[in-house]
Chain A
Amino acid sequence: MTLAADIATIWAFIIAFAVFVYIVMDGFDLGLGILYPLFPAKTDRDVIMNSVAPVWDGNETWLVLGGGGLMAAFPLAYAVLMPALYTPMIAMLVGLIFRGVAFEFRWRTTQSERNRWDLAFASGSLLAALAQGIALGAILQGVHVEGRHYAGGWWDWLTPFSILTGLALVVGYALLGAAWLIMKTEGELRDRAYHLSWYLLFAMLGAIGAVSIATPFLHIQYTQRWFSWPNIVLTAPVPIAVAGVTVLLLRALANKWDYQPFFLSLALFALSYAGLGISMYPYIVPQSITIWQAAAPENGLIFLLFGVAVLIPLILGYTAWAYWVFRGKVRPESGYH
């Protein structure tokens, strides 16, 4: 491997990291919106909103980094994938607009209008999550590339598999949202979050199973990657670890340990994400474009790598500080209304 190849690999990990941090940070955030219709009481909704209001903006910035980073480091992949994922991307953006403005708008209005912004928050979150999951499925199943262009139609992404991954991500985000509520609330709200977590955990396990079974049928390469010898020595630990985390999660839910479910749910996401990486590597557009083919010229990758190396730790530092400032349980009675 040449120097350029090494940098492309580093960048693939950086983009993967940014996307994963986005999932960690905004997953529960969108999940709260997905669960919102199940909490109709205004006090509950105020608490749910306030548990994330100080940090949602930073959470979504990781999505901008994912998109911007992809354009900077793998411009060819960005140029092929975005038109291929056109409709899910537009739907995601529209969803994010509605849910994003709801954070401020719902405090600035009367009861009947507030209900409308609550609806915007819930449906926007659902739409964004569904669109992200569909985009993921569409990438996994591969897109039609000719030369340096996307050459398919604007509905190619719509398949049973992409719908499955869309629903799977909605379920997963909802689990993260419920686990977040367990950690950040108390009393009846927390009890209901516990109750929901049981259902959502089993739904998520079902979703992981369904996607895992369906993926090898997409491309023979996926099957070989996972099941051929000696790959299986490296891939088998992933499902085993999923089983292990599930046991810990069930134990935490049963014993009502408030802080564990959130982090264990994130562990489930991390394992699913690792599985995704195993399936895709070294392609960035599966079966068409590898990370080396898509990588930007070396000097650009090095130029931005300096910034990433210095700034990402700094960003993680002050982001952690912001979370620390707003730590602990959010209480409904602390408002001024």
Chain B
Amino acid sequence: MFEGWDAVVLARAQFAFTMSFHIVFPAFSIGLASYLAVLEALWLWTGREVFINLFNYWLKIFAVAFGMGVVSGIVMSYQFGTNWAAFSDKAGPVIGPLMGYEVLTAFFLEAGFLGVMLFGLERVGHRLHFLATLMVAIGTLISAFWILSANSWMQTPAGYAINAEGQFIAADWLKVIFNPSFPYRLVHMVLAAYLTTALVVGAVGAFHLLRDSHLAGPRVMFSMAMWMATLVAPIQILAGDQHGLNTLEHQPVKIMAMEGHFDSHPNGAPLILFGLPSEAAGKVKYAVEVPKLGSLILKHSPDAPLSGLDTVPRQNWPPVPITFWSFRIMVGMGFLMLALGLFSLWTRWRGILYEMRLLHIFALAMGPAGFIAVLAGWITTETGRQPFTVYGLLRTADSASPLAAPAVGSSLLAFVIVYFIVYAAGLTYLFRLMAAPPHPGEQGPSGETPTHAAGITPAVGATAHGAAR
């Protein structure tokens, strides 16, 4: 099987597949961990039961999603070695320590406090439990910090030297960590995670409001989620714009692919809204474009010259159609989020936030929008980095393991089968949890799993649940 296939293409397919399935869970759990910390803080502060009900409701969902993120993440940490051995040898001295710090500062923090967060409310008391929730939330953010630093270094390498063995070595660790694209990518991704979670929470709230608009839990979560969308969607669009300008400075070829600029425009480039990019023809077919707007957005001047892919050797082009289209999907999702936020703000002002069915239907439909945007955004930035793993320095073709196609193809097939089984089941369980509304006296994961210690009877645990001590 897989004889005659290209092993590098199979390895890339495997990375793209396992990464795509992985990334949606961290994106969700970064936002959800912070949301849980906010809910618990509100409960401790106000003592209102609705907050602990919502906390326990989303905690069960968090437990399932986090578990799936962990197991798909272990796959990623070994895939660098199994499929990308040459990359690991050459870039390992720079990338390895960054990921090492991610494990030490983030993964352990999350995993160490997760058990207490999920099962320990009755065992450790409210304050210590809140500390555990906070540690998990902070852990997810620290994790984003390091992995985005590593990823950004591959996009915009800085602070490095190359030794006699051809390995990248760090000349200045601060420059490595805070490489030029890192701050932009970090902000853009963390905001994306918050938006993604807000849209899921909003969709679940909307789903239950459509059935019964008087339920306390769905009202609170829907309102919170819509505030998040209203406030963060415009900030995210600004952050994305700044990230784009940074990319233009450091990875102009990626911008050319994203914009479909095959030709150079000495007198101001158009903004191509839609069209079919053709690498063979070297142009965007059926292009719908606005003259000069491309230069206005990217250079803040309508007549500013912009170079096109015609200035770049063909073997250094990223795959243009994928980069072009995934970028448009992401931007489209972003503007839909902005619309949802503004719509909700208007209904809030009119006092019909919980009654406006059209808003609820819109919010429900937007439930997966964050995931779609995150995936499309990552496809844009990673495909746009091609044909390099370390931008401009190490080609993807020179990064792979010395493996024959059958080995890489078989493992890809194994992951496809396993992920479809596991993810189909996981999504079913997540939907099942979300389909039931949060109700008074909602139990956390420990309410359904017998984890109580000797000496604490179930009766005590049950009555103490949710009651202020």
Contact = CB atoms under 8 A, between A and B. Distances in A.
Contacts of A81: 81
B450 A325 contact: no
A132 to B, nearest CB: 12
B236 interface: no
Interface string B434-468: 00000000010101111111111110011000000
B81 A67 contact: yes
A162 to B, nearest CB: 17
Interface stretch (B68-76, B284-292, B313-321): B68-76
A325 B120 contact: yes
A255 to B, nearest CB: 22
A221 interface: no
**In this complex, which of B108, B422, B432, B433 has the most chain A Cβ atoms within 10 angstroms of its Cβ?**
B108
B116 interface: yes
Interface residues of A, number: 80
B136 to A, nearest CB: 11
B93 A300 contact: yes
A324 B119 CA distance: 13
Nearest to B452: A334
Interface string A95-124: 011101101110111000000010000000
Main SS class of interface, B: helix
Contact of B418 (A94, A107, A327, A333): A94
A139 interface: no
A55 B115 contact: yes
Contacts of A149: 85-86, 402
Nearest to B72: A97
Contacts of A315: 104, 108, 112
Given A57-B70, A61-B103, A101-B422, A82 B78 contact: yes
Contacts, number: 282
A54 B117 CA distance: 9
A72 B96 contact: yes
B352 to A, nearest CB: 36
A297 B85 contact: no
B401 interface: yes
Contact of A326 (B114, B123, B402, B403): B123
B11 to A, nearest CB: 11
Contacts of B454: 328-329, 331
A136 to B, nearest CB: 15
Contact of A72 (B71, B97, B169, B407): B97
B363 to A, nearest CB: 25
B401 A82 contact: yes
Contact of A57 (B75, B81, B89, B114): B114
Contact of A307 (B105, B429, B450): B105
Given A79-B401, A90-B411, A150-B402, 7 more contacts: A68-B96, A93-B78, A97-B72, A101-B67, A299-B170, A319-B112, A336-B447
17 contacts: A53-B118, A54-B114, A58-B114, A60-B74, A61-B107, A64-B107, A78-B89, A82-B401, A89-B81, A90-B82, A94-B415, A96-B71, A101-B426, A109-B429, A307-B105, A311-B108, A326-B453
Interface of B: 63-64, 66-68, 70-75, 77-78, 80-82, 85-86, 88-90, 92-97, 99-105, 107-116, 118-120, 123-124, 163, 165, 167, 169-170, 173, 401-404, 406-407, 411, 414-415, 418, 422, 425-426, 429, 432-433, 443, 445, 447-458, 461-462
